[in-house]
Structure 1
Amino acid sequence: MPSSPATPPAPKVLGVAVPTPLRKLFDYRPCQPGPSAGWQPGMRVRVPFGRREVVGIIVECRDTSDFGLASLKPVSACLDSQPLPADWLWLCRFTARYYQHALGDALHQALPVLLRQGRPLEARTRERWQLTATGQAADAASLGRARRQAELLELLRQHPRGVVGSVISAQGFTRAQLRALAEKGLAECREEPLTAAPSTPGSALLAEPALTLNREQATALSELHQGLDRYHPCLLQGVTGSGKTEVYLQLIEAIVAQGRQALVLVPEIGLTPQTLARFRRRFRVPVVALHSGLTDAERLDAWEAARAGRSPIVIGTRSAIFTPLARPGAIIVDEEHDGSYKQQDGLRYHARDLAIARAHKHRIPIVLGSATPSLESLVQARAGNYRHLRLTRRASSHAPARLELIDLRGRSRQGGLIPPAIDAIKGALGAGGQVLVFINRRGFAPTLACHNCGWLAECDWCDSRLTLHRQPPQLTCHHCERQRSIPDACPDCGSADLRPLGTGTERSEESLGELFPDVCVHRIDRDSTRRKDAFETTLNEIRRGEPCLLVGTQMLAKGHHLPHVTLVVVVNADAGLYASDFRALEHSAQLLIQVAGRAGRAERPGRVLVQTLHPDDPHLRLLAESGYDALAENLLEERRIAGLPPYRHMALLRLESPREADGLTLAGEAAGALRQWLQARELAVDCLGPVPAPMERRQGRYHVQVMLSAARRSSLHEASAWLTAWMEQSPLARRARWNLDIDPQTLS
């Protein structure tokens, strides 16, 4: 008989990544006894680290250590019998390497909270009771005087697939009655996962039929079907309301029919419930969601269901990119341009870019969908690296509404609205429509001012003004969240003539309530939707179709289907036109188009009014007259001439310290050392700075920046790795916080 393969000898040293900012592995000796499957990379272990114990992940198994085997501490315990998925470990290592981040911290952030704490990687289960073959043939009368057992027998008979234990309890039956049936051989219990219980073999895939596609949708889907078995990146650019989601659904149908899984990323937690509901209505297979609104236990259940392959469809926000898939088949990134995909603290990854890397690794198709694609994606499509698919027609019979610019100069305003806009609102409400008033400022007013001496309410900890709120009445800094009571008099001159300056959502809500007292006004911003389910409850009221006014920030602009909105009024379109960030105009234009897309999505055509103090601005006029594509071409040419992304690659070293001098000194030394190193290596990387951040003082700390820019990504990463190592060894760096942001999406 052939001999069984020899078990590989146990390693003498385990290289463990622990959750720390230090960019290295820590060596430990294996403990005894070890896991039955042997020590392997990807296993979680509990290890002593300083004066505490932490959960780390084995990354390397080897026989030597630079510290000598006798000096190594042993692992306290192995927490897994099998390693975490190899592709998940690869993605985390790639992320840490690309974004110049500590591997231990990257692995820590990519795990559900309960796994970080050492909980077993197993699904929560529930009981499902069903009749045995004997029970199916039994007569309830044979149970004699056990009336409740007989009723329970009939309940189970009505459900051949079984009944969940909690449902049986809700019907008033007891566990004693269930056990009695089991002891008589009439019923049996089986354990099943609480989340994503597998669907019945042979059942139909679709719960409702797919919609009929128009010619453009059918062409796009045909192109996507041609790449189901390979890495096939596609940019699906479709105007708002053109049916991109239906294309996603029919693509996923083909993927799931092959026995594979699809991962769908959405930018905002507010979009997750409606997306999840639509997918669950369409498919009979389990669909799970991953987002920050879940409890730790729910998140682990969903993560495990995806890892085990029980859920063919996974929907989630940014962090869901780290969800392991047993049989990956496709990745879809909806609203791929959205800034929410970029993590702005800690591990500063971009979920869209990681999705592309992951699709390439798995050799599966990836779809990037948007009405207003990012300039980075447009350049890739122009170069032929992405297949560019277009949907130019709406599913409804109406074309997308054009932007109508309205001059604010010299006009009286009420709640930020001028008379032509108010008249348009009256007309839309009178015709039975709904109106969306978009203002991307929370609170009642951007600040409070003294009409006598000009004093402005400013934050003591940030270079910003305090926002006036009425619900509850207070002054709040939206950068550090510090709050102050509203003063009775000016602290400088003592005048009681304090007035709000500008307009926020609360002030617009109040003014519209006065102008239209018989119409319901819904305000949707971060303040009004703090309560759980408040956002979805408000949206459900809006979707009833009764005439109403919606006052909202960008929360309401992204992806929501509001079929009864016929008019959109943008209170002030100028906020993003003249900001210091070079991406501000791109992001502002994308937001305007997204907001405009909420109008005219059903039977009645839509109209979009854009109030502005700069109606002759060439960029704004180009957007209004020729659309987003024309403006994007213009912006790309400007970026090419200026040597800015996407034509060059960028990294940003951010430093912050309580004392201004400490940050400037450290940044100056780091920039000087880097320039000397670049000159010696003859590496083509530009080093600019140090300069104060656009908001120099924030949360009581001074912020300084050094920018790196290069035409070759490899050169930028080589310089970034050297700079990171220099910062870690610099004694001055202990006096400041710092981070290196690869591919920053904002310079603030």
Structure 2
Amino acid sequence: MAVCRVALPVPLHRLFDYLPPDHAPLPGPGARVLAPFGHRRLIGIVIETGTSSVEDPATLRRLAATLDDTLIDPDLLELLRWTTRYYAAAPGELVGMALPGAMRRERAPSAGPLPDWLRLTAAGRAQNFARAPRRRNAAQLLEHGPEQRARLLESGISGAVLREMRTRGWIEPCDAPPRSPEPGPELNRDQRQALATILAARQHFAAILLAGVTGSGKTEVYLQAARHLLRRGRQVLVLVPEIGLTPQFVRRLEHRLGQQARVYHSGLAEGERCATWQAARDGRARLLVGTRSAVFLPLRHAGLIVVDEEHDSSFKQFDGLRYHARDVAVMRASRLGIPVVLGSATPSLESLANADAGRYRLVLLPDRAGSAQQPDWKIEDLRGQSLSEGLSPALLERIETTLEQGRQVLIYRNRRGYAPVLTCNECGWHGECSECSANLTWHRNPARLVCHHCGRTQALPRRCPDCGAPALQPVGAGTERLEAALQQRFPDIRVLRFDRDAVRGKDAFEHHLAQVDPDRPCILVGTQMLAKGHHLPGIALAVMLDADQLLYSSDFRAPERLAQTVVQVAGRSGRVDPGVFVLQTRHPEHPLLLQICKGNYLEVARALLRERNQAGLPPLRPLTMIRAESRVATDAAALLRQAAAGIAGGAIEVHGPVESLLQRRAGYWRYQLWLIAPDRATMQRAIRDLPTHIETLRPAARLRWHIDVDPLEL
């Protein structure tokens, strides 16, 4: 009896056995199949086949159809299986990782939006469009070769006409015609050594940690390495942490490599994602750029994987299957026998520990490329100062001087909205979310109170809800308030705000950034999205407000995040001409701030690594967190106590259950259990059967729970 073991997108930690479809051969591992499941039909992936089943043969159902045989190649299938095992996830989670959304449904994927480049087919050339002037105009524009969709639309050809011609087979998508790569700057000695290290490993696996100060030319090293691999017919996959980094980065890659880059991220339409997935699988897409989900793209001729800004927490998935794309990329490169480059000005302690242990090769770029110098660092003591919306008089004077010189200012404030708290000075009332253990943030445009944890909104009260006092006061300054204050102070200067409220939608970040003219003074105010890897040549002054909030956090990763953020914000300044970085604090003598401001991140990171090791914390000892959430607080804690009793092995330290840092979110009380092991093998043995054990516990069906291996969010 032939049996298929299938992963289905359901939250159960098991595979499901099926008989092959009627009158059809047995689908092999990696096949996409349609399976009856209860009263539904689900798309699944065959994981393995066998000749017997633990289920009663009489109860086995047949697959409805084999949709694609061996769609997932063996290397990628094994990577997907490893990912679900390592992160203690349900096997069905791999369906969502392996396939774009359009391929996870029974109906065939639609053609999707028009591609960037189009050409006439042989059938199109054979057509006589004399009586169809719109089609004739399109054919005339395409008769001499491929043309960009944007040029066709600008010429008056409607999208409807192009879609119809594509449906009829008269035109088809194609890659951009080859163009000559643009020359780049000459590499300095450190860059040449870094490139040589990467190319020396092009025939085998090597994990290379490229640690270069901001502006040191890490991207130039990626480009040169990619060029060598592309010339040999290999595929290059570049992972970036944020969608906002993609357009600027993609243009630079395409211009320098003379190669069209295919993009893959969640902001694309399903048709675009599906087209890129197919092109990657077929080997037609040779240069691929994407966010974390792109790590699972099929690669026929893989040659190099690059993880840019490898320290960024955006590479970690915070729901569903909680994988870390950086670590999956390293495992994938290992299985494929190719190099992987992890680049950052502020390497994560995990990567630095791997380099110190000899698992990664550490390559340094200690100086900025060209003639650029590191900015001049200033610590400004806020004690005793009268602040205007979080800005000191000395800082305002420095901003004014910078603008008068025709240069630009960047102000980092990692808090959206107008004010983080709205309060009553008469009775002490302050706006709190009714569903979360958090304050409501006052947003001014449009006027409302918003919870940044659950998204709940409510109207702005005209009077205090408790005592009726008419004057409610905003406390603290978010990016909206800073923007308004700076616009009032400098009415003739453009002030641009970069946060999730001001920058929304596909390509919104790129359009916002395009308003920055490097030759004209302006002020950029933003959250974390503004501090990530952007080349802003006009910035002469970078400012970090309120660095103190991370100094006394109960999260053991807070000092690392503070160091990374300070260095990244400082790195936006002085990338062409000399610049200044100002850090405002009420604790100017704090040892960590003093050490960070010496400008040697690796020294800071190694000191933090020693502290973590002494405390028995990651990365020396692996950590797994089990979180349970319930409407009744005691239920979540009770489930975790039962789960702790089922954890095998005396080598595992169990801590908790304890309340999460954000105790209540969206109406659910949150508790967590920490498991700390001496090594990863011990941890993997301990959690291997943990999901199925928790599923058998009586309260589990009534609660929400998940396992987070190597958690970043507590």
Unaligned runs of 5+ in 2: 163-167
Q: Give the whole-Å Cα distance in 2 for the aligned partners of 1:67 and 1:262.
A: 44
TM-score of the pair, normalised by structure 1: 0.89
| Pairs within 5 Å for 1:698-709 | 698-709=665-676
Question: By how many angstroms is 1:168 displaced?
Answer: 7.8
Cα distance change, pair 338–80 in 1 and its aligned pair in 2 (3 A): same
Distance 1:564 1:593 in 2: 18
Q: CA deviation at 1:153?
A: 12
Q: Which amino acid aligns with 2:32?
A: R
C-alpha distance 219-455 of structure 1, shift in aligned 2 (>3 A): same
Cα distance, 1:27–1:495 mapped onto 2, change above 3 Å: same
Match of 2:703 among 723, 728, 736: 736
Map 1:430-579 to 2 at 5 A: 430-579=404-553
CA distance in 1, matches of 2:207, 2:643: 39
- Say if 1:231 and 1:365, in contact at 8 Å, map to a contact too: yes
Deviations 1:404-427 (A, max 9, x none): 111111111112100110010011
Q: How far apart in 2 are the matches of 1:220 and 1:633?
A: 22
Letter in 2 for 1:243: G
Paired with 1:540 and 1:461, the residues of 2 have a C-alpha distance of 39
| Cα 1:480/1:198, change in 2 over 3 Å | closer
TM-score using structure 2 length: 0.93
| 1:101 matches 2:92 | no
Unaligned residue ranges in structure 1 (runs of 5+): 1-10, 136-142, 179-188
- Tell me the equivalent position of 1:262: 236
Counterpart CA distance in 2 for 1:169 and 1:579 is 53
Residue 691 (structure 1) aligned to one of 652, 658, 666: 658
CA offset digits 1:173-205 (Å, max 9, x no partner)? 99xxx9xxxxxxxxxx987862xx3577xx66x
Provide the aligned length of Structure 1 versus Structure 2: 702
> 1:128 aligned to 119, 139, 146, which one?
119
Tell me if the contact between 1:44 and 1:58 (Cα under 8 Å) persists in the aligned partners: yes
Structure-2 residue corresponding to 1:394? 368
Deviation at 1:171, TM superposition (A): 6.3
Match of 1:649 in 2: 622
Corresponding residue SS for 1:740: strand
- 2:691 is aligned with 1:724: yes
Contact 2:109 2:271 in 1 (8 A): no
CA shift in 2, pair 1:164/1:582, >3 Å: closer
Whether the 8 Å CA contact 1:286–1:310 is kept in 2: the answer is no
Q: Distance in 2 between matches of 1:407 and 1:164?
A: 55
* Cα distance between partner residues in 2 of 1:495 and 1:123: 59
In the aligned structure 1, how far is the partner of 2:578 from the partner of 2:79?
Answer: 46
Structure 2 match to 1:76: 64
- 1:606-637 deviations in Å (ceiling 9; x for gaps): 10111111111110111012531221121111
CA distance in 2, matches of 1:535, 1:171: 27
CA displacement 1:234-290 (0-9 Å, x = unmatched): 110111111111110110001111111011000001001111111111233331000
Q: Is the 8 A contact 1:80 1:120 kept in 2?
A: no
Q: 1:59 aligns with which of 44, 47, 50?
A: 47
Could you tell me which amino acid in structure 1 is paired with residue 254 of structure 2?
Answer: R
Letter of the 1:60 counterpart: E
SS at match of 1:625: coil
| 2:12 is aligned with 1:22 | yes
Over aligned residues, Cα RMSD in angstroms? 2.8
Match of 1:357 in 2: 331
Question: How far is the alpha carbon of 1:669 from its aligned partner?
Answer: 2.1
Can you list the C-alpha shifts for 1:121-160, whole angstroms capped at 9, x where unaligned? 898798733799x99xxxxxxx9x99999x989957972x
Corresponding letter in the other structure for 2:374: P
Cα distance, 1:640 vs structure 2: 1.0
- Structure 1 SS opposite 2:515: helix
**Aligned counterparts, 1:64-213, within 5 A:** 64-120=52-108, 128-129=119-120, 155=140, 159=144, 161=145, 194=173, 197-198=174-175, 206-213=180-187
Question: Whose Rg is larger?
Answer: 1
Deviations 1:690-721 (A, max 9, x none): 11111111111110111000111111111112
Q: Is the alpha carbon distance of 1:192 and 1:314 closer, same or farther for their aligned partners in structure 2, counting shifts above 3 Å? A: farther
3-state SS, counterpart of residue 542 of structure 1: coil
Question: Partners of 2:171 and 2:142 in 1: how far apart?
Answer: 20
Task: Provide the secondary structure at the position in 1 that maps to 2:597.
Answer: helix
Q: Residues 545, 534 of structure 1: CA spacing in aligned structure 2 closer, same or farther, 3 A cutoff?
A: farther
1:295 shift after superposition? 0.1
Q: Aligned letter for 1:44?
A: R
How far does the alpha carbon of each residue in 1:56-113 deviate from its partner, in whole angstroms, 9 at most, with x for none?
A: 1111222212233332111111111443222221111111111000111222333100
Question: In the TM superposition, what is the alpha-carbon distance from 1:659 to its structure 2 partner?
Answer: 0.1
What residue in structure 1 maps to residue 165 of structure 2? Answer: none
Which segments of structure 1 move beyond 4 Å, counting only runs of 4 or more?
A: 119-127, 145-149, 151-158, 162-174, 189-193
Judged with a 3 Å threshold, the aligned counterparts in structure 2 of structure 1 residues 148 and 274 are, in CA distance, closer, same or farther, namely closer
**Does structure 1 conserve the Cα–Cα contact (< 8 Å) formed by 2:120 and 2:139?**
no
Match of 2:609 in 1: 636
Residues 24-43 of structure 1: CA deviation (Å, up to 9, x unaligned): 111111122325xx521111
Amino acid of the structure 2 residue aligned with 1:669: Q
- After superposition, what is the alpha-carbon deviation per residue over 1:197-225, rounded to whole angstroms, capped at 9, x for unaligned? 3577xx66x42123311111111111111
1:534, CA displacement in angstroms? 2.9
Q: SS of the residue aligned with 2:610?
A: helix
What letter is aligned with 2:554?
Answer: S
Q: Which residue is equivalent to 2:581? A: 608
Percent identity over the alignment?
Answer: 44
2:193 is aligned with 1:219: yes
- C-alpha distance in 2, partners of 1:275/1:192? 30
For residues 104 and 531 of structure 1, the distance between their equivalents in structure 2, rounded to whole angstroms, comes to 30
SS at match of 1:541: coil
Given that residues 373 and 575 in structure 2 are in contact (C-alpha distance below 8 angstroms), is that contact kept between their aligned partners in structure 1? Answer: no
CA distance in 2, matches of 1:428, 1:369: 32
Q: Which amino acid in the other structure matches residue 26 of structure 1? A: F
Partner of 1:12: 2
Contact 1:130-1:162 at 8 Å conserved across structures: no
Q: Distance in 2 between matches of 1:736 and 1:359?
A: 38
Q: Distance in 2 between matches of 1:522 and 1:165?
A: 31
Specify the alignment match of 1:710 in structure 2: 677
CA distance in 2, matches of 1:558, 1:166: 29
* Structure 2 partner of 1:8: none
